[in-house]
A = this chain, B = another copy of it.
Amino acid sequence: MSPIHNRFLERLSQAQRDKNSIAVLGVDPQLDTAAIPGVPPGYTLARFCCEIVEACAPHVIAIKPQLAFFEARGLAGLEALREVIALARKLNLVTIADAKRGDIGSTSAAYAEAFLGDGDFGCDAVTVNPYLGSDAIMPFIAKVKAGRGLFVLVKTSNPSSGEFQDLEAAGGGRLWEKIAARVHGWGAEFARPDGFSPVGAVIGATYPEHARRARELMPQAIILVPGYGAQGASAPDSIAAARADGSGVIVNASRSLMYAYTGQVGASPGEAAAQAAASMRQALNDALLKAKG
């Protein structure tokens, strides 16, 4: 068999080289609360998100729109999502739909079509939930064969993430480690000569020891690390799952980029986000350099 050709991986590697960056922009337009303004005054949802995406494009390799924030705004929200994805494509940014979907049979195939097909919400990659087992994953794997990418939710960093994920199995090993081993299995046949597979994983950045264990269990996975910035993870913590040569990790920040303007008098959302994205890229690159020693 000829070596696997995977457009998602190629686009991702190319962007990393071109931009010298492993930073991902999470497009998470929060709902209005006392703490966060949601959409800034004078902006529409689409204009706010698109300004941020365009401004950050030189510094980030990908965008990761969080579906929830668009769905919560109904049809108008999803129309904005469509615009954001279209803009990202035009800017040659990799797109990762943060949907965390998981279902079975023809339902799972429909989700795969929704987020990895050619329709309004089609992206280069999608996040998925593994609780239903291989059946839930296989329709997405069919899209991987067609050049798309996958990030399986393995270990999250929220306070209650241990509740089920850390369950110790009778034969040894924790639930999330069992899932990590399966992710390795699902992705093995797609590995490229550089050893990376388009079947990746989501690993929260709060506990670097989890990141290192995840890398052992999934040597071929691209690991997507959320939680940099506003959610509290430092640059060194965020890259703990990298290989010895610094490869294999991409790091997402959402609020610290989209809402950077709230801490800066006189800066537009785009200007403040671009500055924050440039700093993030630098901090991650410094951490990678230091880790390589």
Contacts and interface: CB of A to CB of B under 8 A. Distances in A.
Contacts of A33: 106
A98 B207 CA distance: 33
Given A156-B132, A163-B134, A106 B170 contact: no
A107 B160 contact: no
A114 B72 contact: yes
A75 B82 contact: yes
Interface of A: 28, 30-31, 33, 36, 66, 68-69, 71-75, 78-79, 82, 100-111, 113-115, 117, 119-121, 129-136, 153, 156, 158-165, 167-171, 175, 178-179, 182
B178 A164 contact: yes
6 contacts: A68-B114, A71-B110, A72-B113, A75-B120, A132-B165, A136-B158
B131 A160 contact: no
B163 A182 contact: yes
A82 B72 contact: no
Contacts of A113: 31, 72
A119 B72 contact: yes
A71 B31 contact: no
Given A72-B117, A111-B68, A119-B73, A167 B156 contact: no
B120 A74 contact: yes
B100 A101 contact: yes
Nearest to A169: B167
* 5 tightest Cβ-Cβ pairs between the two chains A and B: A133-B160, A74-B120, A133-B163, A68-B110, A71-B114
A178 B167 CA distance: 9
Contacts of A115: 71
Contacts of A101: 68, 100
Given A68-B114, A104-B156, A134-B160, 5 more contacts: A69-B110, A72-B119, A129-B131, A136-B160, A175-B175
